[in-house]
Chain A
């Protein structure tokens, strides 16, 4: 294959990947943030303590997290069709991607929000703030650097998942690598996609770390390094297979 043959393929694949990852990240954040906050609030000793709700949410999150993505995608086909009208293509891939990422992000949010000093919650309670105020003015803003880092981790994980979306005809970089690199022995093209993926992931990680760190610097010396390291380490356990 010549470069002129490869170029349009790669361009289309990049766009497909960005499209799928972008939308599914957005949905994962919108859905996972409240879920993660709810996990903290309903926990024993939380502001909205509700042991039953906490157990139920926790269990749903665990089950969804432990499901291999490729199986989740197949299992959700009926649901995907009811939303997008099809089970094939980019739009169809966004549904399982988002649903797979929501519980993943929710757990990261839970960890981030738990690290907010309980004294701050107490302070706002003593001012007469309600639960909404505490979530909106304390928990989320104070956890923001960690939340940014969690979002980065989620995006990287979603890029991994999106490679499997090729199996439902969604395209994307992973799909190119499999179809051309693996099935047609176009080794060169495969290595190019690998390189592109590596660069994209590095850029996203860098941008995320930079944002999280600059937010932290504004907030002062309260140790950004350990938290970020912790989250980076957890990137390694994400199921990208």
Chain B
């Protein structure tokens, strides 16, 4: 639904160059919620603004719903008619809501419809319908200043949906909200994604956002995408930074001659009594350093950090047994051992 290839953005000001995006390849499938996470300054904002060409990319292409937007952009700073039409089919919500303070809630939602040239009757029908969808039908006559942050963002979402978009871009939509309101806004986005088949691309710096609604995620650092994939792919990737951030387990080894192993269960594997099987089969004592079960991107996932006596070399067979059970095994510090072995 959204594809970027080699997207590059370089800001030039007074002879200095800052590379905000450095060859970003992003692929968002139709109907999914895709989260891009990263520290501030990682290039997330530039990325999402390049998707609807609020920022002109220095190089690379952006394709939304099969349409190459970079080809529509033209040369000048001003957006041509075709690009503007394409933009009206992409909804966008903002961190600071960006509602017009001089218009009522309803008139704010009508604004994109005015731009689309809809008649007055059609506008008010659609606006009320959308306000109903986001649960604000009773506030249609209020001014934005009279609403709470969460309500303002609901108006922002209703406004973004006015042009019947297939794609919704969310620029830190929950970052200015408290945790409770964040949850309700995320739930709303999730519902809209399901009900309307809306493809959502969101950027955030909060791992919880990715955890609670994203089907796929990407980690951005210094203008590049470091890791990306569906949440279950990421969790199944050994050594994935995103996976361990999404689902951290704690605990450190109790002594020198110990092997620490992270075991990740997904789906059916979660029901197998693997730890007691392991213990009985190899007659070893296993201590559990940390464990948790959580829902990540709608998947039930369990993760456990266990400690086996002896060095890694002594535990090759039990670790192999765990792998045979279809579990994902990350031996903590294994990569270092492998490197040393290579010497």
Contacts and interface: CB of A to CB of B under 8 A. Distances in A.
Nearest to A137: B111
Nearest to B169: A126
B229 interface: no
15 contacts: A117-B98, A119-B96, A120-B100, A123-B92, A125-B54, A126-B54, A126-B90, A127-B115, A128-B85, A137-B111, A138-B100, A215-B102, A220-B143, A220-B145, A222-B145
Given A119-B94, A123-B92, A126-B52, A220 B115 contact: no
Nearest to A221: B145
Specify which of A127, A129, A141, A222 lies most central, judged by the most chain B CB atoms within 10 Å of its CB: A127
Interface of B: 52, 54, 77-79, 84-88, 90, 92, 94, 96, 98, 100-103, 111-112, 114-116, 143-146, 159, 162-163, 169
B75 to A, nearest CB: 13
Contacts of B143: 218-220
Contacts of A222: 101, 145
Contacts of B77: 47-49
B114 A137 contact: yes
A86 interface: no
Secondary structure dominating the interface of A: helix
B33 to A, nearest CB: 19
A47 B101 CA distance: 21
A130 interface: yes
Interface size grouping (class) on chain A: 20 to 34
Contact of B101 (A123, A131, A133, A142): A142
Nearest to B88: A128
Nearest to A141: B102
Contacts of A137: 100, 111, 114
A240 B104 CA distance: 41
Contact of A119 (B85, B90, B98): B98
Contact of A122 (B85, B94, B162): B94
Given A137-B114, A142-B101, A126 B78 contact: no
Contacts of A141: 100, 102-103
Interface string A21-50: 000000000000000000000000001110
